[in-house]
Every structure is written in C-alpha cells, then in structure tokens.
C-alpha cells in the first residue's frame, strides 16, 4: 500500500544519499520533490504546505550539517514529521504526544455496556468494520460484544451484520421489523445491559451522500445512547472526498476517531494524511481487506514507515550511528579512494553488516532498498550465515595475505579453506568478491557502507 508515495520519496532520498553535506539548495530540491509527491498522493494542499514547511525548517541547519549521513537525516526528519502528522497535532507542535497515543486505542471505560457508534457513507465499509472491531475486541480484550444494525432502509444490511456476528461469534440484536433506528438503538442498549454485554455496536444507516435527514437521525441516536466512541468509517480510495466527508460528519457529530478502509487497495495514502490533519481526529483502525481479520490497530510510526516505503529508517539511522565508528569509516573510505581497500577492510565491513542485522535486516532498513530485497528474496534470499563464513575465511588468512591478496596461490588457499572449515571454492569467492568490490570502489571514488550499499542497489 502507499507504493506511489513511498517510491517518490525513495527517489528523493536516493539522490541525497552519499552526498558530502546537505546544502540549503539540496534541502529545497528535496522539499520540491516531497511536495509534488504528496500532492500526487492526493494530500490536500494546505496540509502539504504545512508539512513541507515544517520539514524545511528542521532540515536546513545544524541538525543536518552535524549528522553522519545528510540524506538519512532528512529521511528521519520526514519520517518524524509524518508520525507527528499522523498521530500528533499539526497546528500545535507541542501537542501532548501521550494524549495522541492514548487516543489511538478505543476508550471502553465506563459502566458496561458502553456504546460504539459507527457512522459513515453507504459502502464505506461500516458494517464490515463493525464486525472486524467486534472480533478484535473479543479476541484481544475478551469483551462480550453485541452488534446492532440500525439500517432500517436496507434489510440486506441488517442481515449482513447478522452474518458477520455469526462469523465472529459475537452477539447480534434480533431484527424487529417496523422499529425506527432510534428505537432499535434504545433496545440495543437495554438488551446489552440485560445480556451482560461489555460493548454494543450501533451500526447506523449509511446514505450515498451526506444529507440532513441522515445527520439528524445519527445525532439523535448519539444523544440517546451517549456513545463512548463515535467512529467515522471512510473509504480511503475516495481520496479528497473522504476528507470532505470527514469534515462534514465532524461538524455535526461528536466524532472520536476515524477508521480508514480499503487501505489494501490504496496506492496513494493521501487520504490518511489529510483526514487526520484536517479533522484533528485520531485514526483508530485501518481496514486492510474484505475478511474479518482485515483490520489493523492504527500505529502512526508504522504507517509513516510504510508511506516512506522503506521500513524503519529511523532505527537505521540510530543503529548506524551506534555501530559505525565514524573515524574508522572515514579511514576506510580514504583507503578505498586510493584503491587500498584490503581484505582486513572487507572483514570489518562484513562485521558491521552483521551487527546491523545482516544483509536482510540492513536492506529492509535502507531507503530505496525495499525493491531489491524483494528481488533477492525471490531468488532465494541471502543467508546471513554467509557473512560469518566469509569473515571466518578472511580471519584464516595471514596479515600479509589480507593486505596483498595476489599472494594467494593454490597451496595457501587450501590452508585457508582448512583453517576456516570452508572449501577452496568458497575461499575463491571471497577473494573474487574483494576484487570486485575494490574495483568498484575505485570507480566510485568514494566508499563506506552507503557507497557500497548504493552500488549494490543500483
């Protein structure tokens, strides 16, 4: 999901990676790209403006200049800003983060049964989502759930909820023909109390467009039942329309949160960003499929990671700065530039890769490497043991051999193979890998992990 935005931002960051320092010009260029990418992802213009301005302020200046990798630092800043935008409050940068975190979970406190009112346009996924959240609360929190359909216009919608209740093995309020939505809501609450239910879901009627009649009805139900949560379900595929819908509903109903459905089919992701920013409401859940298990509790960090499409970049930056000794990295880079990258250096690089979680872990984390990881996985994957084995081979060489691989003839290779418990073929592979890498590095004229990884990705 969100492939398009992720790819776009990925390209921006690829261009930044490997540069010496990040100038204001670089930042501006990156921001232009991010702006276009967000607009193309269908994020509302005012939201884009706020977002880009915020990043620009943070990116230009000390934070970036001081950092180890300017490109990665920008990635982290964008990532943090996305998290803020998805989970924090944009208008107030110092908004209480804890408050936002708490709000991402459903509030179920109060005397049971508590009511959860589900609102939204017809076809948004309201009924399905009611079933999904019911199952989630039952499974994860052992809650006793009663589902009630208030859609008096569509008997089929009522039956659909009944089927979902059966599938999820939760309670369902029997249908009594001729009752109004408000009557059903009252009956649901009293049956909920009698039956010892913890939570009653009130699945309201949807309309194809927002109208006063619909709003009056939902408003009356909300007044009567005093729901602890009033969730607006919106189809993320409808983009800016979903944002408009959220705004209109929010004007009339005391909404407590959003659920975005069809995230599995959303190539743009702008709806999530915009709806959050425009309404200020927390996104509580994401719908990720038609089935009852197609639900994810919303997590701003996770979604930001997905929007960037690069896995957890922040932790890469953090881990990289922990693991990579800056002076050592600079020394290695200098040697590479001069074409003096020897097997000792290769062993160190392999060690660093291991510390960072091996090739697999590393590539998941590297911006722009997601695609390559998929290709490698498709081809059978990289065995992280390999790194250890390659290192063992190098450690079986004498210091002289490591400095000057040309020394290694057949008898030496045999000795090294025996010493490391590998075959001569494998020794040859390591020597070949080193030769290819040093050739490549001479050509690149710069080195280090980023250069290496970049080359492997390109």
SS3 397: coil
State which of positions 45-84 bind ligand GDP (CB under 6 A): none
Binding of ligand GDP at residue 128 (CB under 6 A)? yes
Q: How far is CA 393 from CA 230, 333, 344, in A?
A: 62, 23, 11
Q: CA 84 to CA 301: how far, in whole Å? A: 9
Q: Name which position in 71, 287, 367, 405 contacts ligand GDP (CB under 6 A).
A: 287
State which of positions 146-205 bind ligand GDP (CB under 6 A): 160
Binding residue per annotation — 457?
no
Binding residue per annotation — 91?
no
Q: Name which position in 261, 274, 349, 454 contacts ligand GDP (CB under 6 A).
A: 261
Q: CA 309 to CA 80: how far, in whole Å? A: 14
Nearer to ligand GDP, 36 or 156 (CB): 156
C-beta separation of 437 from 334 below 8 A? no
How many residues touch ligand GDP under the rule CB under 6 A: the total is 19
| Residue 121: CB minimum distance to ligand GDP, A | 7
Using a 10 angstrom Cβ sphere, with 0-12 exposed, 13-18 middle and 19 or more buried, the burial of residue 129 is: buried
Binding of ligand GDP at residue 457 (CB under 6 A)? no
| Residue 320: CB minimum distance to ligand GDP, A | 36
Structure-token pair, residue 231: 């969730």
C-beta separation of 107 from 256 below 8 A? yes
Q: CA 296 to CA 285: how far, in whole Å? A: 6
Binding of ligand GDP at residue 17 (CB under 6 A)? no
Query: Which residues touch 377 (CB under 8 Å, ≥6 apart)?
Result: none
Binding of ligand GDP at residue 245 (CB under 6 A)? no
Q: Name which position in 72, 149, 279, 288 contacts ligand GDP (CB under 6 A).
A: 288
Structure-token pair, residue 274: 């915009």
Residue found by looking up tokens 């194809």 in the block? 208
Q: Name which position in 262, 284, 306, 373 contacts ligand GDP (CB under 6 A).
A: 262
Nearer to ligand GDP, 130 or 420 (CB): 130
Q: Among 92-100, 281-289, 358-366, 408-416, which window interacts with ligand GDP (CB under 6 A)?
A: 281-289
Binding of ligand GDP at residue 269 (CB under 6 A)? no
SS3 180: coil
Q: Name which position in 35, 69, 76, 126 contacts ligand GDP (CB under 6 A).
A: 126
Residue in 274, 262, 229, 291 with CA at minimum distance from that of residue 105: 229
Nearer to ligand GDP, 51 or 285 (CB): 285
Binding of ligand GDP at residue 267 (CB under 6 A)? no
Binding of ligand GDP at residue 127 (CB under 6 A)? yes
Q: Name which position in 87, 113, 270, 294 contacts ligand GDP (CB under 6 A).
A: 294
Residue in 162, 199, 202 with CA at minimum distance from that of residue 182: 202
Residue in 272, 192, 193 with CA at minimum distance from that of residue 239: 272
Binding of ligand GDP at residue 238 (CB under 6 A)? no
Binding of ligand GDP at residue 351 (CB under 6 A)? no
Q: How many CB atoms lie within 10 A of CB 67?
A: 18
Q: Name which position in 46, 61, 110, 123 contacts ligand GDP (CB under 6 A).
A: 123
Binding residue per annotation — 125?
yes
Query: Which residues touch 353 (CB under 8 Å, ≥6 apart)?
Result: 359, 362, 387, 449
Binding of ligand GDP at residue 276 (CB under 6 A)? no
Q: Name which position in 155, 195, 265, 280 contacts ligand GDP (CB under 6 A).
A: 265
Binding residue per annotation — 284?
no
What secondary structure letter does DSSP report for 377? Answer: H
C-beta separation of 51 from 38 below 8 A? yes
| Residue 291: CB minimum distance to ligand GDP, A | 8
Residues linked to residue 201 through DSSP beta bridges, in sequence order: 116, 147
Binding residue per annotation — 190?
no
Query: Which residues touch 188 (CB under 8 Å, ≥6 apart)?
Result: 115, 146, 148, 173, 200, 202, 225
Q: Name which position in 87, 88, 125, 448 contacts ligand GDP (CB under 6 A).
A: 125
Binding residue per annotation — 129?
no
β-strands 283-287, 295-297 pairing: antiparallel
Binding site for GTP, residues?
120-127, 203-207, 261-264
Binding region for ligand GDP (CB under 6 A): 120, 122-128, 160, 206, 261-262, 264-265, 287-290, 294
């Amino acid at each position: 999901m969100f492939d398009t935005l992720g790819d776009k931002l990925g390209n921006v960051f690829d261009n930044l990676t490997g540069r010496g320092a990040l100038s204001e010009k670089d930042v501006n260029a990156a921001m232009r790209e991010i702006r276009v990418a967000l607009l193309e992802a269908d994020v509302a213009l005012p939201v884009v403006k706020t977002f880009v301005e915020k990043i620009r302020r943070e990116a230009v200046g000390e934070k970036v200049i001081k950092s180890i990798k300017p490109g990665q630092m920008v990635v982290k800043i964008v990532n943090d800003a996305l998290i803020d935008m998805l989970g924090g409050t944009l208008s107030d940068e110092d908004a209480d983060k804890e408050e936002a975190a708490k709000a991402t979970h459903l509030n179920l406190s109060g005397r049971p049964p508590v009511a959860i009112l589900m609102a939204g346009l017809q076809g948004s996924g309201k009924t399905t989502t009611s079933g999904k959240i019911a199952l989630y609360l039952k499974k994860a929190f052992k809650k006793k759930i009663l589902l009630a359909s208030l859609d008096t216009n569509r008997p089929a919608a009522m039956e659909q909820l009944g089927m979902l209740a059966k599938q999820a093995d939760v309670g369902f309020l029997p249908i009594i023909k001729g009752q109004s939505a408000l009557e059903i809501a009252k009956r649901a609450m009293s049956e909920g109390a009698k039956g010892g239910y913890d939570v009653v879901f009130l699945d309201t009627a949807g309309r194809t467009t927002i109208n006063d009649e619909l709003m009056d009805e939902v408003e009356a139900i909300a007044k009567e039942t005093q729901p602890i949560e009033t969730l607006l379900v919106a189809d993320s595929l409808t983009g800016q329309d979903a944002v408009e819908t959220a705004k209109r509903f929010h004007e009339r109903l005391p909404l407590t949160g959003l659920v975005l459905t069809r995230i599995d089919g959303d190539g743009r992701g702008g709806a999530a960003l915009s709806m959050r920013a425009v309404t200020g409401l927390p996104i509580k859940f994401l719908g990720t499929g038609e089935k009852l298990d197609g639900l994810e509790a919303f997590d701003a960090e996770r979604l930001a990671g997905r929007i960037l499409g690069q896995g957890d970049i922040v932790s890469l930056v953090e881990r990289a700065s922990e693991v990579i000794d800056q002076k050592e990295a600079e020394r290695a880079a200098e040697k590479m530039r001069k074409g003096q990258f020897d097997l000792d250096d290769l062993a160190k690089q392999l060690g660093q890769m291991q510390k960072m979680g091996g090739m697999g872990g590393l590539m998941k984390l590297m911006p722009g490497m997601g695609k390559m990881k998929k290709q490698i996985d498709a081809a059978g994957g990289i065995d992280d043991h390999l790194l250890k084995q390659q290192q063992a081979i190098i450690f079986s060489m004498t210091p002289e051999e490591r400095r000057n691989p040309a020394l290694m003839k057949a008898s030496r290779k045999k000795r090294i193979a025996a010493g490391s418990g590998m075959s001569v073929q494998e020794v040859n592979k390591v020597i070949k890998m080193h030769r290819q890498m040093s050739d490549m590095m001479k050509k690149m004229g710069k080195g280090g992990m980023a250069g290496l990884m970049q080359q492997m990705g390109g």
